Chain A
């Protein structure tokens, strides 16, 4: 049983560019959450998707957007990249009935130059 997978593992972009990160949830999980983890910090909640809709959102600007597909996989899009967007982006999945039980993926490390 594959766990949560994320792609790509690493990414380098320049300021102003746009980036798309991808996440496949653990089998049987229909809820996907995204987090940003800056160096030396804990993960910060970006948003959560369920039934292809954004259900919860943290304190992130509209430059951060997402999508969930019918197969429950998800994408995180960040527009107009800033240097401060450099971080590890984590995806976590959970089943509807136990939404507090989140399983994390390995993350995508984004570097903005």
Chain B
């Protein structure tokens, strides 16, 4: 069965620190990859997505992610976090031509001011 792993369940950083959240998936075929964010009290929102092309994807609010096919990974990065980045981050995968999303269990990021 397909699965998405987010190994960091809870990350605590100080403002201006760099962020990298890991995401690995288990599927050998063509995939679409996503990062979603859920700010406290808000809906899930799309941060960025990768369908094809340049494996380095830039999203909103200074976030980026790199698709490394050989490692089945799609890690999320931000060079300098802000207190307002405190949220829960979810990695998700869909199989190409299918619309069934597989989500990871999420990583809670707490940025200390």
Interface, chain A (partner B; CB < 8 A): 3-4, 31, 33, 35, 40-45, 48, 55-56, 58, 90, 92, 94, 99-107
Residue contact B90 to A56, C-beta cutoff 8 Å: no
Q: Is the interface of B mostly helix, strand, loop or mixed?
A: strand
The answer, yes or no, to whether B43 is at the interface (CB within 8 Å) is: yes
The answer, yes or no, to whether B103 is at the interface (CB within 8 Å) is: yes
Set A43, A44, A56, A106: member contacting B99, Cβ < 8 A = A56
- Say how far B9's CB is from chain A's closest CB, in angstroms: 9
Residue contact B105 to A43, C-beta cutoff 8 Å: no
- Interface 9-mer from B11-19, B44-52, B62-70: B44-52
Residue contact B99 to A42, C-beta cutoff 8 Å: no
- Size of the chain B interface, CB-CB below 8 angstroms: 23
- The 0/1 profile, CB within 8 Å of A marked 1, for residues 26-47 of chain B is 0000001010100000011110
- Say how far B46's CB is from chain A's closest CB, in angstroms: 7
Contacts of A41 in B (CB 8 A): 105-106
Contacts of B105 in A (CB 8 A): 40-42
Closest 8 CB pairs of A and B: A42-B103, A104-B44, A43-B103, A99-B99, A42-B105, A56-B100, A104-B43, A42-B106
Nearest residue (CB) in A for B51 is: A100
Interface hits, B38-96 → A, CB 8 Å = 43-46, 49, 51, 90, 92, 94
- 10 A-B pairs with CB atoms under 8 Å apart are A40-B105, A41-B105, A42-B90, A43-B44, A43-B101, A90-B44, A104-B43, A104-B45, A105-B43, A106-B43
In the bound complex, what is the Cα–Cα distance between A103 and B45 (angstroms)? Answer: 7
Given that A41-B105, A42-B105 are contacting pairs, would A100 and B49 also be in contact in the complex, using a CB cutoff of 8 Å? yes
Contacts of B99 in A (CB 8 A): 31, 33, 48, 55-56, 94, 99-100
Contacts of A4 in B (CB 8 A): 43
